[in-house]
Amino acid sequence: MGSSALVSALDDALFPRLCAACEGVLSSGERAICTSCRMSLPYSDNRSLTDNRITALLGGIQPLLYAASLLDFQKGGAVQRIIHRLKYRKQPEIASVLGLWLGEKLKQSNLIQSDWVIPVPLHRRKLKKRGYNQVSGFARALAAQLGLSLHEDVLLRVYDNETQTKKSRFTRWLNVRETFTVFDDTALAGKKVLLVDDVITTGATLRACAQALLRTQGVQISIAVMAVAQ
């Protein structure tokens, strides 16, 4: 066994890689989520990308070309554990894995005609504190799978809003409606944008992002998220 392989084996023994859903030890060929959990996760029904729970929540976005989610989010469930580890336990690889999985599913659709993938941004203070934007990793993997262009510097979060977790639908909207702006709308004009986020609950954040993007002439919006709350 070479020195690098020995160091890797020692690291695995001392600090085993754990599944983000069940905390079981991952095998050498598994990334972030074990095969057993991957098979049993509650996947969203995306048979219709133009008429589903997300399009119903975001009906105010016009035009909304299509929307898709990888997973269904339920409080206390495996998906909540996965998202919590991604956002608060320094496991950004989870985002890449989820982006690849959703990208695989979306490639089977002939509706994916977007030009740019744009992640919902973090405010710079929160980005500095967390060290990464969990949505960016998801968007990057999704863009790679779909052969689309990733743009992380178009949409900016200008206010660092307080957490949305315990707010009502209307209060969430008031909290984020003027939070986002477009940095340079010249290149954005006329683009079909795939707007990407982690979990959609009421849709307030995505509506606010879409509102900022749609101020640019000719922009059309589609949505892709890791999970949608049930």
Reported pTM: 0.86
**Residue 165 pLDDT level (bands cut at 50, 70, 90):** low
Judgement on whether residues 87 and 145 belong to the same structural domain of the protein: yes
- Segment 145-168 mean pLDDT: 79
**Residue 168 pLDDT level (bands cut at 50, 70, 90):** low
Judgement on whether residues 18 and 64 belong to the same structural domain of the protein: no
Task: Look up the domain containing 224 and give its range.
Answer: 42-229
pLDDT for res 9: 47
Judgement on whether residues 203 and 116 belong to the same structural domain of the protein: yes
CATH of the domain at 159: 3.40.50.2020
For the cut 50, the answer to whether the pLDDT of residue 56 exceeds it is yes
Judgement on whether residues 111 and 165 belong to the same structural domain of the protein: yes
Judgement on whether residues 15 and 58 belong to the same structural domain of the protein: no
The helix-helix angle for 93-106 and 134-146 (nearest 10°) equals 30
- Segment 54-61 mean pLDDT: 90
Query: 10 versus 68: which is more confidently predicted?
Result: 68
**Residue 138 pLDDT level (bands cut at 50, 70, 90):** very high
For the cut 80, the answer to whether the pLDDT of residue 207 exceeds it is yes
Judgement on whether residues 127 and 34 belong to the same structural domain of the protein: no
Judgement on whether residues 19 and 108 belong to the same structural domain of the protein: no
Query: 173 versus 184: which is more confidently predicted?
Result: 184
Structural domains counted in the chain: 2
- Segment 162-187 mean pLDDT: 67
For the cut 70, the answer to whether the pLDDT of residue 203 exceeds it is yes
Judgement on whether residues 166 and 225 belong to the same structural domain of the protein: yes
For the cut 50, the answer to whether the pLDDT of residue 76 exceeds it is yes
Sheet containing 220-229: which strands, arranged edge to edge? 64-73, 220-229, 192-200, 116-119, 149-150
d(CA 84, CA 213): 28
**Residue 162 pLDDT level (bands cut at 50, 70, 90):** low
